[in-house]
Amino acid sequence: MGRRSDSDGPGRGGIIDIINVIDRLETLITTSKTVPVSGNIMLDKKKAMELVDQMRLSIPQEVKAATEVLAQKDQIVNQATLDARRTKSDADQEYRQRMDQSDLVVSAESRAQDTLRDAEQRASRLLNQSEAESTSRRSDADAYALRSLRALEQEISAIAGSVRRGIDLLAGQTTSRMVAQDAEN
């Protein structure tokens, strides 16, 4: 009968216990009474059930956990599939958001450049208008000053003419008096 010892290795206590119980079950079967003619045996049910219970208790925890995992494999696979789909969906959504943000950045930069170009054109137009207005006002001021100076010149000329006539008149009267006095003398 294939008995194994505890020297089969560390951590194999559960397997060794199961093998021991199986060996005892085999011994129970081989030592049980045979029913004549049929080849069947009469087995002590109580002893057989005790051995089955011991086998259940001897099953290593890893085997029990593996059995539970196998029982839950469909649920685990379904959950993993759902998680994978959710992860892919999240990645797609993040990709779309980044692309939208990229489009927004490009659009914002384009609008900023357009706004800057418009502002520069507006500033250039305002500067040209200001210079034209300044030149026009300077010309108007120069024309006004020239008209004013010519009018002043005419007034001064008229005054100078009056002064000249006054001088000539006085000089003529003075000369006439001097001639008359000379003639009297």
Question: Could you read off the pLDDT of 107-118 as tens digits, one per residue?
Answer: 888 899 999 999
pTM of the model: 0.34
Q: Please check whether residue 77 is in contact with residue 40, taking contact to mean a CB–CB distance below 8 angstroms.
A: no
**Can you say whether the dihedral through the CA atoms of 88, 89, 94, 100 is positive or negative?**
positive
Question: Could you read off the pLDDT of 30-76 as tens digits, one per residue?
Answer: 898 888 888 888 888 998 898 888 888 877 777 777 777 777 888 88
User: Based on C-alpha coordinates, what's the Rg of the chain?
Assistant: 65
